[in-house]
Chain A
Amino acid sequence: MIRDSRSVPLLACVMLASCAGRQSALDPAGSSAASIHQLGIIMYIGASAVTLLVGVLMLVPFMRNNDRRVNRKLFLWTGVLLPAVTLMALVPYVLAVGHETRVPRSPNQLSIDVTGSQYWWSMSYWHTSELTGITTANELRLPAGEPVELSLRSNDVIHSFWAPNLAGKTDMIPGRVTRMVIQADRPGIYRGQCAEYCGLQHSLMAFDVMVLPRREFDDWLARLTQPVREPPTPELQQGRDLFVSIGCGECHTVRDVVESRRGPDLTQVGARRTIGAGTLPGGVGNIAAWIASAQHLKPGNAMRSYDQLEGPQLRALAAYLESLK
């Protein structure tokens, strides 16, 4: 379709419509993304100007009289000096862009471990130097207006952490820890994604970034350190018992119930906006769908489809998970 030049206006409309948004480098919500966006604008305008200039210069020979001599100095000025000066000015500027993500760590700074696995994300929150013991999955919560240090790791293959509204991409390399500092200035919900092809479900390896005012962020952290309450209804208790008995705890953690770090932490799964790292919206219906047909919805992910449950069992399990907020 792109080969047909007449579809370009249509394509342009579609692309313009996606400029502002939850996952867009053209709608920066943090200082690093803003400086990258600024560089982008300079490059778009500069490249357009150069294209225009070259286009005009190509027309010049057709407009002029053939017997007039070519001014050789023109070659020197526009062919050698102009590009040289432009590039010399651009290189130091480009080298400085995005360096907000490389600032040294300051004391009292919130630090988050982000670990990529085929095809989901684990986020562990640290307070200054001691681990608070808070782990979530597929969702990064940040306090607005503060630099936060991310330590990026990979469990299997190379992934890349990319929340375009906040900063550029940073690779997650197995056996190494890559660091970046991000700062989100505008509270809101953004979307990030794995930006390095990592396997069959690379496109369904997404996460939400929830940028909260500091007070709300602290409340959320505090809530997560409190003990998980006993399920209040018989159905939810049945769901919890099933969760333990059919072996969900072999891979998943629900704090105070089961613990394993092989799969996503589910202590707060009911509060998540999506299920399966961006595969489906949250909610009891989709949780049930995911439990019963995870391999159909996201083929090749590490969770099998639990399609041998009875109807009421599936409902109880889904209701229990949805109640974990």
Chain B
Amino acid sequence: MIRGVVLGRNVVMSYATLALIVFGCFTFAGCRASRTSSIPDKQVPEGDPILGRAIVASGAHGCTGCHAIPGIRGRRGVVGPPLGGMAQRSFIAGQLPNTPNVLIEFLQDPPALVPQTGMPDVRVSLEEARHIAAYLYTLEAPD
């Protein structure tokens, strides 16, 4: 009797765990980027962080080849700086003030703003740059 009850509970627990995993799989992908930056002066009005995350995660521009970006699968790039905690950082590329407008401009053509940078112009459009900036400002610094 007791054995049966314990088994039954185990089964229920396992189903609950499974349901949680499935639910998690469907929702986790979007949850890091589902809100805008928590810092007031790092808001990007026309930028959608979810779209920005999709652009970065697609690998089309090769962001993760050089940068470690928390929450994006794959090897963590070591060529450029890690992008976790981007909203708290003072400078872009160690030189430019970290404001949304500067970041958007930098993303579209890094060498134009920082001639000595190693970051190539990866042909990000203005619209994409807005989404990516909005996404980057949601990234938290790793502990």
Contact B63 A6 (CB under 8 A): no
0/1 interface trace, chain B 115-138, chain A, CB 8 Å (1 if under): 111111111000000000000000
Contact A310 B77 (CB under 8 A): no
Say yes or no: is A85 at the interface (Cβ < 8 Å to chain B): no
Contact A289 B118 (CB under 8 A): no
0/1 interface trace, chain B 58-71, chain A, CB 8 Å (1 if under): 01111101100000
Say yes or no: is A312 at the interface (Cβ < 8 Å to chain B): yes
Contact A288 B79 (CB under 8 A): yes
Within 8 A of A (CB), among B76-114: 77-79, 111
Which residues of chain A have C-beta atoms less than 8 A from B28's C-beta? none
- Out of A6, A286, A311, A315, name the residue touching B65 (CB < 8 Å): A286
Contact A311 B118 (CB under 8 A): yes
Contact A4 B77 (CB under 8 A): no
Question: Once bound together, how far apart are the Cα atoms of A296 and B117, in whole Å?
Answer: 21
Question: Once bound together, how far apart are the Cα atoms of A259 and B59, in whole Å?
Answer: 31
Contact B116 A285 (CB under 8 A): no
Which residues of chain A have C-beta atoms less than 8 A from B120's C-beta? 284-285, 288, 314-315, 318-319
Within 8 A of B (CB), among A258-300: 280-281, 283-290, 292-293, 296-297
Say yes or no: is A216 at the interface (Cβ < 8 Å to chain B): no
| A13 CB to nearest chain B CB (Å) | 9
Question: Once bound together, how far apart are the Cα atoms of A318 and B60, in whole Å?
Answer: 15
| B9 CB to nearest chain A CB (Å) | 15
With A6-B14, A297-B65 given, is the CB distance from A285 to B122 under 8 Å? yes
Which residues of chain B have C-beta atoms less than 8 A from A292's C-beta? 66, 79, 118
Kindly count the residue-residue contacts between A and B in the assembled complex, taking CB atoms under 8 Å apart: 82
Which residues of chain B have C-beta atoms less than 8 A from A218's C-beta? none
Contact A6 B118 (CB under 8 A): no
Query: Which B residue sits closest to A288, measured CB to CB?
Result: B120
Say yes or no: is B75 at the interface (Cβ < 8 Å to chain A): yes
Question: Once bound together, how far apart are the Cα atoms of A200 and B60, in whole Å?
Answer: 26
With A4-B14, A10-B18, A312-B115 given, is the CB distance from A285 to B63 under 8 Å? yes
| A100 CB to nearest chain B CB (Å) | 35
With A312-B115, A315-B120 given, is the CB distance from A281 to B62 under 8 Å? yes
0/1 interface trace, chain A 1-18, chain B, CB 8 Å (1 if under): 000101100100000000
Question: Once bound together, how far apart are the Cα atoms of A55 and B131, in whole Å?
Answer: 57
Query: Which A residue sits closest to B93, measured CB to CB?
Result: A311
Contact B65 A285 (CB under 8 A): yes
Q: Give the size range of A's interface with the partner.
A: 20 to 34
Question: Once bound together, how far apart are the Cα atoms of A311 and B118, in whole Å?
Answer: 3
Contact A296 B78 (CB under 8 A): yes
Which residues of chain B have C-beta atoms less than 8 A from A314's C-beta? 118, 120
Question: Once bound together, how far apart are the Cα atoms of A280 and B61, in whole Å?
Answer: 11
Which residues of chain B have C-beta atoms less than 8 A from A10's C-beta? 18, 21-22
Which residues of chain B have C-beta atoms less than 8 A from A289's C-beta? 62, 65-66, 77, 79
User: Which of B75, B79, B118, B120: most chain A Cβ within 10 A?
Assistant: B120
Say yes or no: is A250 at the interface (Cβ < 8 Å to chain B): no
Say yes or no: is A241 at the interface (Cβ < 8 Å to chain B): no
Query: Which A residue sits closest to B18, measured CB to CB?
Result: A6
Q: B-contacting residues of A (Cβ < 8 Å)?
A: 4, 6-7, 10, 280-281, 283-290, 292-293, 296-297, 307, 309-312, 314-315, 318-319
- Beyond contacts A6-B14, A285-B63: 15 other A-B pairs, Cβ-Cβ < 8 A, are A6-B15, A284-B121, A285-B61, A286-B62, A289-B65, A289-B66, A290-B65, A292-B66, A293-B79, A296-B77, A297-B65, A297-B75, A297-B77, A312-B111, A314-B120
Q: A-contacting residues of B (Cβ < 8 Å)?
A: 14-15, 18, 21-22, 59-63, 65-66, 75, 77-79, 111, 115-123
The 9 closest A-B pairs by CB, nearest first: A289-B65, A285-B62, A311-B118, A286-B62, A285-B122, A292-B79, A286-B65, A281-B59, A289-B66
A-B pairs with beta carbons under 8 Å apart, 28 shown: A4-B14, A7-B18, A10-B21, A280-B59, A281-B62, A284-B120, A285-B61, A285-B62, A285-B66, A285-B120, A286-B62, A287-B62, A288-B120, A292-B66, A292-B79, A292-B118, A293-B66, A296-B78, A297-B65, A297-B77, A310-B116, A311-B119, A314-B118, A314-B120, A315-B111, A315-B117, A318-B120, A319-B120
